[in-house]
Structure 1
Amino acid sequence: MASLICTLHDHRDDVNGCAFSATLLATCSADKTVRVYRTGDFSEVSYSPLSGHGYGVHCCCFSACGQYLASCSTDGSTVVWSTVTGEIEAVLEHPGRSPVRVCAFSPDSCHLVSGGSDGTVALWNLTTKTLDWITTANDTTVVACSFSPCGQMFMTGSTYGDLRLWDLAMNQLHAEKNTHDMGVSCCCFGSKIFSGGGVVEFRFASCGQDNTLKIWVVTRSSTGSCTMQQTHILTGQSAPVLSCSFSADEQLLVSGSVDKTVTVYDAKRGVLLYTLNQHERYVTACAFSPTMPLFATGSMDKTVNIWRVESPSGHDGKHFHDNPATSSCEGGKLAGHSRLLVCDWSEEEVGAWLCEEGLEVLVETFKANNIDGVELLSLTKETLCSELNIESLGLRGKVLRKVEELKLGCVCTGVPDEFLCPITRELMKDPVIAADGYSYEREAIEIWITTKNRSSPMTNLPLQTTLLTPNRTLKMAISRWKTSQ
């Protein structure tokens, strides 16, 4: 079974990545920080949080030796930190200063690969802290990379849907086209090397926007030729799969999805073992510990969950919903919902709120009418009476009072995402609309345009013009929201 043992609440924005070393856990976030915890008790180390990035951090990873931690960011850099002191060992500026979406250490800790939003892949020499090679994978964003356990090859995945295998001289050894419709989102090699008969084999996993997780066997012959053979297609999740990770013994494979679930599979048989439902928003990251039966999952709900996993024998497709941390109540509020904007609630979360408020009798009615968080906040006396056919005057009055409490902020205490600048992830003071159609804080987009070759922070496509239009409607909405708080 898999049981939740700890939830970390320190990040102030989406958690984008997590990684284990033998003794530490690192997490990174759109709040521009990397946080580091001891795996003994999951207390934060003295030098945490690490705050060297100017924009959101997309990925973090430890070197196999455990001495270094790398993190990469929209600011176009990959920072290498000392895990002993928390000091910066190196700042690796991606060529062209393209936003860096992913990074990975080689097993010997001598190299680091980073992938950019402009489709470039950079291979860094950590001994000299210099760039060895750079190449363009394709005309899209590189969002996934992983070294083979032998350290002589690494795989990259892109939003175009391709997987490409490279050697350390940046020669492309193999390309697997259209592996995931609408794009790859993550990939990882297992830790074991299988050899015999003049070939070497590795287990490999990839996941993507097509809602699938795939397991492959990557083979390299003595002549240097490489092949990839798909062994399993795993379909245990109903929305894009954003992250995946093998356990150290390759017995298990975990994945996180847009459907808010975490799935654990028997990696050899390709069988779903557990579905975990404790996150409240997209599950963006997952990682197994190399030394303990633990894995971590990070989410857009700003939390990191730590799970203990036991032997999978005897379990097949079991669902776990018994997390006491998300079922307890405090002050008349759902603990699990107090960190989530009401307008982001799903129909199921509205149903849970009704039960918490003693309105269980309305759950089926609300569900039949597809009432989610947005619809809940727009309910009126007329809607309850004429459209939902709630005849009881007292029941209608109680619903309206409870909805009014939500509007007053009893549950919804977070900043609406549309009020945050996509670059800085901070509440906007002077929002403007750029040529890509998105709204940004004026100062942030002006700096971006002057330093990023006029590319869009959201699409990475060229901006047809640098003209910025004040978004007065958004500015007024932010002002009203601030007053209500």
Structure 2
Amino acid sequence: MVSLIRTLRHHTDEVSCCAFSPSLLVTGSGDKSLRVYNTADFTELPFSPLTGHGYGVRSCCFSSCGGFLLSCSADGSALVWSPETGELLEALQHPGRSPLRVCALAPDSSLLVGGACDGTLALWDFPSKTLRSCTAVSEASVVACCFSPCGQMFVTGCSLGDLKLWDADVSLLHAHKDAHDLGVTCCSFAPQFEVESCGVEFRLASCGQDSQLKVWIVSQHDGAVWVMKLLHTLTAQSAPVLSCVFSADGELLVSGSMDKSVTIYDANQGTLLHTLKQHDRYVTAVAVSPTFGLIATGSMDRSVNVWRIGDEETAAESQQTPCQGRKLPGHSRLLLADWTEQDVQTWLCEEGLEELVAVFKANNIDGPELHHLTKETVAELGIESVGLRGRLLRKIEALKAEQSGSEAPDEFLCPITRELMKDPVIAADGYSYERVSIESWIRGKNKTSPMTNLPLQTTLLTPNRSLKMAITRWKTSQ
């Protein structure tokens, strides 16, 4: 049994990563922030959100003991935080300032690696926070990385589809070409491994743009070369699989996909146990708690769902009230101005204002009407309770504040910074960017597209005047 116990909606842009420590959940987003929650009740800690990255957060992780929090970003930095105070302890910069796509910390916290868009891997000695090496490990972006549970090896995955096994000195132990057609997106080692007198075996999960989740046996026997043998190919998801992780006991394997679903497999048998479909957009991140049987799933709909595995306390879906029958879109991709009457009634239920549903239904209150409700017009609706009227108005103001600044159409936001563009230009890849951002990207020796990872045929930038006019019109209407 898997039950949804909490939905967190504090980020103002897509959720890109999430991770558990024994007592905390951290989530990272394109809004450049990390948010930290207590797993006892999922209240946000007083020092949250953490802000220090110049661009969106791409990856985050805790040290195995939970004493450190790591994050990396397209700004080329890996930041080290204190999970207890939120203090920024160290800022580590990729030597070429290449955007970092992924970071991983060894189980014993001895090494930190960061995979970059230029195909290099930066390796830091974590205790001293000093750079040990920066090595070219791929012809394409390094988008996935994970340490073996013994900490003596790590695997990288690239956007070309290759998986490579390295030792702690970044010496290649094994390469598996085209592990995933069109590119790897994530990889994860199972926490357990088998040691025999003649060898050792690990389990590795990888997922990719080919819509597949694969489980591999990574092994070495009798001192021979390392080999990677395919154990399972799991195909329950119908679109690229963006994230995967093993449970703490290695028995379950969880993945998130562009088809908006989360799948949970028996990792040993490769059988599908559960499919969860509560997100409105791509599921970009999954994490499993090391202690409490919890799963966190992050999505481009800006929400994080927290699930409990094995809890029998779930409400029967067949007993849903009318307000529970439809996922509220207002917290994700729909603007308040686009809400229907049903959306408004659903929102009332979510905010504990169920007694107002009949009043709003009788008066045909949709999103635009809700937006323009005032103290006077609320009184005209016949809501006699002063306290209830005040609570409704406060909820409406909070809703407006939640959507302000983040309600711009996605095409008005720069793909690099996720901020509203002021001077949009078209690059050779056909995408539009904020001029300052794409020029900085190119100056940083990134001659590939931020969106496709393919080489830019020219660095010429063309002003997108029609988009600039559209943004101006939209700003005027707000």
TM-score, length basis structure 1: 0.80
TM-aligned CA deviation for residue 475 of structure 1 = 1.3
TM-aligned CA deviation for residue 445 of structure 1 = 3.0
Question: Which residue does 2:279 correspond to in 1?
Answer: 279
Tell me, yes or no, if structure 1 residue 203 matches structure 2 residue 203.
yes
Give the whole-Å Cα distance in 1 for the aligned partners of 2:342 and 2:36: 37
Equivalent AA in structure 1 for residue 39 of structure 2? T
TM-aligned CA deviation for residue 66 of structure 1 = 1.1
Question: Which residue does 1:92 correspond to in 2?
Answer: 92
Closer/same/farther in 2, CA of residues 324 and 145 from structure 1, 3 Å limit: farther
TM-aligned CA deviation for residue 450 of structure 1 = 3.8
Contact 2:421 2:434 in 1 (8 A): yes
Question: Which residue does 1:363 correspond to in 2?
Answer: none
TM-aligned CA deviation for residue 181 of structure 1 = 0.7
Closer/same/farther in 2, CA of residues 339 and 64 from structure 1, 3 Å limit: same
Contact 1:251 1:266 in 2 (8 A): yes
Question: Which residue does 1:476 correspond to in 2?
Answer: 469
Give the whole-Å Cα distance in 1 for the aligned partners of 2:344 and 2:80: 49
Closer/same/farther in 2, CA of residues 326 and 179 from structure 1, 3 Å limit: farther
Closer/same/farther in 2, CA of residues 177 and 37 from structure 1, 3 Å limit: same
Q: Structure 1 residues 412-421 or 107-116, which shifts more?
A: 412-421
Question: Which residue does 1:448 correspond to in 2?
Answer: 441
TM-aligned CA deviation for residue 335 of structure 1 = 5.1
Any gaps of 5 or more consecutive residues in structure 2? 346-363, 374-398
Closer/same/farther in 2, CA of residues 182 and 462 from structure 1, 3 Å limit: closer
Equivalent AA in structure 1 for residue 467 of structure 2? L
Give the whole-Å Cα distance in 2 for the aligned partners of 1:454 and 1:355: 48
Question: Which residue does 2:353 correspond to in 1?
Answer: none
Contact 1:118 1:460 in 2 (8 A): no
Equivalent AA in structure 2 for residue 282 of structure 1? Y
Contact 2:98 2:116 in 1 (8 A): yes
**Other structure's SS at 2:131 match:** strand
Equivalent AA in structure 1 for residue 324 of structure 2? S
Equivalent AA in structure 2 for residue 3 of structure 1? S
Closer/same/farther in 2, CA of residues 264 and 37 from structure 1, 3 Å limit: same
**Other structure's SS at 1:174 match:** strand
Give the whole-Å Cα distance in 2 for the aligned partners of 1:200 and 1:42: 39
Equivalent AA in structure 1 for residue 435 of structure 2? R
Question: Which residue does 1:260 correspond to in 2?
Answer: 260
Contact 2:341 2:366 in 1 (8 A): no
Tell me, yes or no, if structure 1 residue 419 matches structure 2 residue 417.
no
Contact 1:278 1:321 in 2 (8 A): no
Equivalent AA in structure 2 for residue 436 of structure 1? D
TM-aligned CA deviation for residue 180 of structure 1 = 0.7
Contact 1:143 1:158 in 2 (8 A): yes
Closer/same/farther in 2, CA of residues 96 and 409 from structure 1, 3 Å limit: farther
Alignment of 1:20-31 (within 5 A): 20-31=20-31
Give the whole-Å Cα distance in 2 for the aligned partners of 1:340 and 1:65: 34
Question: Which residue does 1:143 correspond to in 2?
Answer: 143
TM-aligned CA deviation for residue 453 of structure 1 = 5.4
Question: Which residue does 1:384 correspond to in 2?
Answer: none
Give the whole-Å Cα distance in 2 for the aligned partners of 1:301 and 1:89: 31
Alignment of 1:67-466 (within 5 A): 67-223=67-223, 225-310=225-310, 328=324, 336-341=328-333, 414-452=407-445, 456-460=449-453, 463=456, 465-466=458-459
Question: For residues 22-78 of structure 1, what are the alpha-carbon distances to aligned partners after superposition, in whole Å with 9 as ceiling and x for unaligned?
Answer: 111111011111111111111111221111100011000001121111111000111
Question: Which residue does 1:365 correspond to in 2?
Answer: none
Between the two proteins, what is the percent identity of the paired residues?
57
Equivalent AA in structure 1 for residue 331 of structure 2? R
Closer/same/farther in 2, CA of residues 464 and 109 from structure 1, 3 Å limit: same
Equivalent AA in structure 2 for residue 422 of structure 1? P
Closer/same/farther in 2, CA of residues 415 and 325 from structure 1, 3 Å limit: farther
Equivalent AA in structure 2 for residue 162 of structure 1? D
TM-aligned CA deviation for residue 340 of structure 1 = 3.7
Q: Structure 1 residues 459-468 or 441-450, which shifts more?
A: 459-468
Question: For residues 146-167 of structure 1, what are the alpha-carbon distances to aligned partners after superposition, in whole Å with 9 as ceiling and x for unaligned?
Answer: 1111110001111111110000
Give the whole-Å Cα distance in 1 for the aligned partners of 2:461 and 2:476: 27
Contact 1:326 1:336 in 2 (8 A): no
Give the whole-Å Cα distance in 2 for the aligned partners of 1:357 and 1:90: 45
Closer/same/farther in 2, CA of residues 254 and 42 from structure 1, 3 Å limit: same
TM-score, length basis structure 2: 0.82
**Other structure's SS at 2:307 match:** strand
Closer/same/farther in 2, CA of residues 223 and 308 from structure 1, 3 Å limit: same
TM-aligned CA deviation for residue 464 of structure 1 = 5.1
Question: For residues 419-460 of structure 1, what are the alpha-carbon distances to aligned partners after superposition, in whole Å with 9 as ceiling and x for unaligned?
Answer: 001122111122222343322223333443444456543345
Contact 1:157 1:185 in 2 (8 A): yes
Contact 1:7 1:305 in 2 (8 A): yes
Question: For residues 184-230 of structure 1, what are the alpha-carbon distances to aligned partners after superposition, in whole Å with 9 as ceiling and x for unaligned?
Answer: 11000011121113111111111111111111111123526211111
**Other structure's SS at 1:109 match:** coil
**Alpha-carbon RMSD:** 3.1
Equivalent AA in structure 1 for residue 199 of structure 2? V
Closer/same/farther in 2, CA of residues 404 and 132 from structure 1, 3 Å limit: closer
**Other structure's SS at 2:192 match:** coil
**Other structure's SS at 1:97 match:** coil
Closer/same/farther in 2, CA of residues 311 and 133 from structure 1, 3 Å limit: farther
TM-aligned CA deviation for residue 302 of structure 1 = 0.3
TM-aligned CA deviation for residue 88 of structure 1 = 1.8
TM-aligned CA deviation for residue 134 of structure 1 = 2.6
TM-aligned CA deviation for residue 104 of structure 1 = 0.6
Give the whole-Å Cα distance in 1 for the aligned partners of 2:304 and 2:367: 31
Question: Which residue does 1:374 correspond to in 2?
Answer: none
